[in-house]
Structure 1
Amino acid sequence: MLKEIEHDGFPACYRAPEEKKVCYSDALQVTETGASIQLQALLNHTTERLLYSRLDEIDKFTCDDLTLISKWGCDGASGQSEYK
């Protein structure tokens, strides 16, 4: 159906690994036993990705100062994966 409207909805296979690398922060440290990242680096990367995904709408506005408002944890879902 996508080909009928001349729209290539799926990226080429060789682009998938390249795009996947962009989704991870450079500050991510992975070892055999776990992974860690500084909170500020995680927030910076998240903000960059959010802004990148909405470039078409952000270009309409001129703004020099943006604030990221977010919530971390305490959603009540932390014990849902524990089994008896």
Structure 2
Amino acid sequence: MSAPMIADEVRTASRIHARLLDGFIAMTEQELARLAPGFAEESLLESLERLRAARKSYGTTAGVVVATVTEPVLAASNAA
């Protein structure tokens, strides 16, 4: 099966979105590095997950795929 044709303007817009998401991801990772474990950390980890999913989607549409993703080793504490 062949890949669908994507209009240049859609590809360009997707690259812009991907670039902006890269910036948001970087800012979120920096903020996470300064936080102590707790609600704010868990909230940002969830946001980071959504940002990365969106980035992957835009990157695929734009024809730009991240070869490696460096994720901070942070575990959310779901103390119940």
Could you tell me the TM-score, scaled by structure 1's length?
0.31
Name whichever structure is richer in helix by fraction. Answer: 2
Larger strand proportion of the pair: 1
User: Bigger radius of gyration, 1 or 2?
Assistant: 1
